[in-house]
A = this chain, B = another copy of it.
């Protein structure tokens, strides 16, 4: 696809007024206090595979950035896209998925850049997302005694990754992996109440450990309380091994948050643990202590 064709196709996506119709050299936006900014780059062969559906790549690129905004309690304003032009089929399918996700999440295009890559180079894409929040919870704002909560269900994304890799399993789990839905409304509802909020991208155990470390606290998670979907239970069971696998897989994009003990969250969520004095993470299965696995999640997924 040529740059001119691609930019013409971008004009069919939801455009922010700041985009000035994509005819100018920069976007101009009337922003306010509490502007939240996050950026992700993804590379073919690392973050997605050449055979992945381009529309899913687009959806996920937008969704994971909006998940970072959600953790800050931010409503999406819009995104800046950095895109390498390639073959027309891939480009069109990418735009189709991007447009669907933009409409679904109410997040228009603000601007960006298109480039040519050297022949044969893996695609590398970049997205910068902007949002607005009244209060941005930090990663490190949990207090000793706070309860640890999580939205939705855990482990579906990891099972979806296995299915994408060839395992037999239901479409619903594959879809959780390829088309995650950021918890935008939940994040906004939590921003003024939760001491700390993070999205679960690298794995529940590692992300909870990061929240505890940033808060200068220890955290304990009860594996038996981790919410599993019916599809996941059917796919991988619900014994301790299955729960450990779910808690150390990534790509959930649920929100993990800390609330004072006894406080009820304003969103559907499950209480899975608590913060205490000290450091590190401990796991239990009901009352039984469980060793923390060596691989707690994607530790170095740069």
Which residues of A pack against B, CB within 8 Å?
2-3, 18, 20, 23-47, 68-69, 71-72, 74, 80-85, 110-118, 121-122, 124, 126, 128, 130, 133, 136, 138-140, 198-199, 214, 300, 302
- Residue contact B68 to A139, C-beta cutoff 8 Å: no
- Residue contact A29 to B24, C-beta cutoff 8 Å: no
- Residue contact B300 to A3, C-beta cutoff 8 Å: yes
- Residue contact A115 to B42, C-beta cutoff 8 Å: yes
**Given A2-B300, A139-B24, A300-B3, A113:B41 Cβ within 8 A:** yes
A139 to B25, CA, bound (A): 8
**Given A80-B128, A128-B128, A122:B117 Cβ within 8 A:** yes
- Residue contact A136 to B26, C-beta cutoff 8 Å: yes
- Residue contact B3 to A84, C-beta cutoff 8 Å: no
Q: Give the contacting residue for A138; candidates B20, B124, B133; CB below 8 A.
A: B20
Chain B residues with CB under 8 Å of A138's CB are 20, 24
A136 to B122, CA, bound (A): 36
Given contacts A18-B37, A41-B124, A82-B126, 10 further A-B contacts (CB under 8 A): A23-B214, A25-B71, A25-B199, A28-B37, A31-B35, A39-B128, A41-B83, A43-B115, A80-B128, A85-B302
Most buried by B among A27, A41, A81: A41
